[in-house]
Amino acid sequence: MPPGKVLQPVLKMKVDELFLCWLSESSTQAMLQDCLQRIKMPGRPERGGGDAGQPGPPLAAPAPACKPRGFDGLGVPSPAPASTALPLGATSSARSGPPVRGPRRSAGTRVVQTKEQPPPPAPSQSVPAFYFPRGRPQDSVNVDAVIAKIERTFAQFPHERATLDDMGRVAKACGCPLYWKGPLFCGAGGERTGSVSVHKFVAMWRKVLQNCHDDAAKFVHLLMNPGCNYLVQEDFVPFLQDVVNTHPGLAFLKEASEFHSRYITTVIQRIFYTVNRSWSGRITCAELRRSTFLQNVALLEEEADINQLTEYFSYEHFYVIYCKFWELDTDHDLLIDAQDLARHNDHAISTKMIERIFSGAVTRGKKVQKEGKISYADFVWFLISEEDKKTPTSIEYWFRCMDLDGDGALSMYELEYFYEEQCRRLDSMAIEALPFEDCLCQMLDLVKPQNEGPVLPLGGVWLPGSRRPTKHILTPLTREGASKWGPGCLPV
């Protein structure tokens, strides 16, 4: 090592590794235990000598035991001749630059040098790479062969330039599903110029093949904005506009261009609803990879009836969602307020729940929130959550609505807050409501919370003498419950 050059990262890893090796030796542990005992009880005799009567390295000073992770700890043990030399051997060679500390002089150093041996194989070097944010590289991809095929395809176009109409053949030459043609055109800058030259496309695709090793990474790369590594809602527009323009199942929509953006908005919301489980508004490669979206994109090519693709692209689903919105949006400005939403499904949603939907707990449009209105996009989320309450996003949607204080748990206070209003409404209709306690029992039986703490914080009261206490919990918010059982039964 040149003079003045300090630890290199790799060398540092090795030192770390040897430190751990030294730390795991029984003699080291005996010594550290002894140090610890002496810190706890300063009056203790100087030497423990090891519990099992092992020789153990001498104690240089108790201080290093207080800072076990530091490299200084390596200098401490200054082992007796019989003790292990491995960690110190590495230390002395690794720390040749800086001045050596007092206890590491003389005999200890000499012993180490004579015993110095080739270091053991480094486990860190044999751990294969396991993190592939852009997909696992595949040796089988012959980039030059793919590029040659693309060039042959472009050679068939006038001036070797491809328009969007030609991109289907280019997509096939790239080995991609047909409806990647929009993203491919977009990724090569075709949107701006109306056509793509062979050189520009090949340069773009070569870069994609070199950097992106699976479909998710490629798809994100094609549609994302420069400098990003995720997709926002707008990024899907060129892809979906091309689907609207060219999919046989949407041919009837071609003339009704005013509905293009409505359909596209609906599909984008459905994509984000299902794929963007982090609710971040940004779809990453990892999220896309975990979803079935790209399989559905591939199915677009095989399935002429788009209504069969019920997960994202179904026109019928769009039609139902949009008609529901149209009914509520009486002035057709594509915004609805709380009164509009209250009319949904014959006033089935309670006022308190509607307030929560408009509170921003589950919506994205901050501007419209200020005016007390939600957009069509927000309504899509609402209606999907309302229609199917079994999906992960739907569960999270209603959970966010009910978690009034946003602490990530539903307390009985929160549950009862929503219960009260529905109970009153049932009363006004002369329908006897199920008592809250019974509702709660049913919920607990269904949910079976492993730890009742987060679900029932603070307010839980055990029913005395109950054989199954988790079933019979009342909330002190219920006045009679509180007076009947008293605070002495509080589990917390």
Q: What residues make contact with Ca ion under the rule CB under 5 A? A: 329, 331, 333, 335, 403, 405, 407, 409
The nearer residue to Ca ion, 404 or 433, going by C-beta atoms, is 404
Report how far residue 361's alpha carbon sits from residue 374's, in angstroms, rounded to the nearest whole number.
12
Report how far residue 428's alpha carbon sits from residue 487's, in angstroms, rounded to the nearest whole number.
33
The nearer residue to Ca ion, 327 or 421, going by C-beta atoms, is 327
Report DSSP state, residue 373.
Answer: E
E strand segments, 99-215: 161-162, 196-197
Report how far residue 294's alpha carbon sits from residue 63's, in angstroms, rounded to the nearest whole number.
58
| Minimum distance of Ca ion from residue 335's CB (angstroms) | 5
Select from 269, 150, 276, 280 the least CA-distant residue to 208. 150
The nearer residue to Ca ion, 139 or 333, going by C-beta atoms, is 333
The nearer residue to Ca ion, 196 or 412, going by C-beta atoms, is 412
DSSP codes of every residue in 235-277: GGHHHHHHHHHH-GGGGGGSS-GGGHHHHHHHHHHHHHHHH-T
| Minimum distance of Ca ion from residue 431's CB (angstroms) | 29
How many C-beta atoms surround the C-beta of residue 416 within 10 A? 17
The nearer residue to Ca ion, 223 or 456, going by C-beta atoms, is 456
DSSP codes of every residue in 115-126: H--PPPPPHHHH
Select from 337, 334, 317 the least CA-distant residue to 271. 317
| Minimum distance of Ca ion from residue 274's CB (angstroms) | 26
Q: Are 235 and 225 in contact (CB under 8 A)?
A: yes
| Minimum distance of Ca ion from residue 334's CB (angstroms) | 7
| Minimum distance of Ca ion from residue 264's CB (angstroms) | 20
| Minimum distance of Ca ion from residue 280's CB (angstroms) | 22
Residue with tokens 């003790």: 83
The nearer residue to Ca ion, 231 or 456, going by C-beta atoms, is 456
| Minimum distance of Ca ion from residue 457's CB (angstroms) | 8
Element (H, E) at 473: strand 473-474
DSSP codes of every residue in 91-147: HHHHTSSSPPPGGG-HHHHHHHHHH--PPPPPHHHHSPP---TT----TT--HHHHH
The nearer residue to Ca ion, 159 or 370, going by C-beta atoms, is 370
